């Protein structure tokens, strides 16, 4: 029986094509960062440090600390201070990041799904790749119609509270440990086969795949419990699918 549902965020709970979103994000952030660093250099440093954060296997260090340790190791000779830099960029996420909302689309089924799962007493986790600070994750949840002040999620992953990133198994293991849920009692819902479905299936979690083009078939049918649209998943949940002894 399912005890917890883990939802990816971008292109799952929120319509957000990251290939289209990220150029707008990089342009906005690099312009904001001009007082401390030339735009092209800042973008290069951002990409290098984010990649290092994604690839790190050190689960003793938070993603936040990995990023800033790398950033300061590469740029600290310019007199930069981690605390001051975090405050500087925190202001961006709280005041300017919201300009990107127009690049995203709300999905009504996502709100209904979260409501249905919470009404069933299930644990609900926002399992987004934890590469953004918490304010950026909360903003995207608000754009999805799921503000954290209204929906009491059991866990929302961000770079502050996680110690690895997708598709590392340790990312999913940390979530399951935090909510005290065995993998065989958890369902992962996501659109990215490599980031969401394969690692969750490897841990023996149930999986629901949202094909990005809406019509694709699973690359490996043995790695997914089932697949389809958000509307189809909502219908399954409302019909009691998650309460069955086995989901298949």
CATH code of 225's domain: 3.40.50.1000
User: In 10 A of CB 243, how many CB atoms?
Assistant: 12
Q: How many structural domains comprise the chain? A: 2
Same domain, 153 and 89: no
Give me the domain span that covers residue 80: 19-101
- From 101, 120, 141, the end of a domain falls on 101
Same domain, 64 and 89: yes
Euclidean distance between CA atoms 229 and 205, whole angstroms: 19
Same domain, 179 and 231: yes
Residue spans of beta strands (DSSP E) within 105-243: 105-106, 123-126, 155-156, 186-190, 206-209, 226-227
- From 75, 101, 127, the end of a domain falls on 101
Same domain, 143 and 156: yes
Residue 158 lies in a domain: yes
pLDDT value of position 245: 42
Same domain, 148 and 236: yes
Q: Mean pLDDT of residues grouped by 10 in the chain (248 residues)? A: 96 94 95 93 95 92 94 78 87 96 96 97 98 97 98 97 97 98 97 97 97 83 94 95 66
Residue found by looking up tokens 């997914």 in the block: 224
Residue 248 lies in a domain: no
Same domain, 234 and 130: yes
Residue 55 lies in a domain: yes
Same domain, 62 and 166: no
Backbone angle region of 11, left / alpha / beta, with phi > 0 → left and psi within -120 to 50 → alpha: left
Same domain, 27 and 96: yes
pLDDT value of position 77: 64
Same domain, 36 and 84: yes
pLDDT value of position 55: 93
Closest CA to 154 of 1, 33, 3, 2: 3
Same domain, 194 and 83: no
Residue 210 lies in a domain: yes
- From 61, 84, 101, the end of a domain falls on 101
Predicted structure pTM score: 0.95
Residue 220 lies in a domain: yes
Residue 85 lies in a domain: yes
Same domain, 153 and 238: yes
Same domain, 62 and 109: no
Residue 44 lies in a domain: yes
- The residues pairing with 123 across neighbouring beta strands, listed in sequence order, are 4
């Amino acid at each position: 029986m399912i005890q917890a549902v883990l939802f990816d965020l971008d292109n799952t709970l929120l319509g957000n094509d990251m290939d289209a979103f990220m150029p707008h994000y990089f342009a906005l952030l690099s312009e904001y960062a001009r007082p401390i660093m030339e735009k092209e250099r800042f973008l290069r440093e951002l990409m290098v440090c984010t990649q290092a954060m994604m690839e790190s296997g050190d689960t003793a260090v938070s993603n936040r600390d990995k990023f800033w340790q790398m950033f300061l190791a590469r740029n600290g000779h310019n007199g930069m201070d981690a605390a001051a830099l975090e405050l500087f960029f925190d202001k961006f996420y709280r005041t300017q990041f919201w300009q990107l909302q127009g690049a995203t689309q709300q999905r009504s089924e996502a709100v209904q799904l979260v409501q249905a799962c919470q009404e069933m007493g299930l644990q609900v986790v926002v399992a987004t790749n934890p590469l953004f600070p918490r304010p950026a994750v909360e903003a995207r949840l608000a754009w999805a119609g799921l503000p954290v002040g209204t929906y009491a999620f059991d866990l929302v992953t961000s770079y502050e509270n996680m110690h690895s990133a997708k598709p590392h198994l340790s990312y999913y293991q940390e979530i399951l440990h935090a909510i005290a849920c065995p993998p065989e009692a958890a369902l992962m819902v996501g659109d990215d086969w490599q980031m969401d479905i394969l690692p969750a299936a490897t841990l023996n979690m149930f999986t629901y795949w949202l094909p990005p083009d809406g019509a694709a078939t699973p690359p490996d049918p043995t790695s997914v419990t089932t697949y389809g649209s958000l509307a189809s998943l909502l219908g399954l949940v409302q019909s009691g699918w998650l309460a069955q002894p086995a989901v298949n």
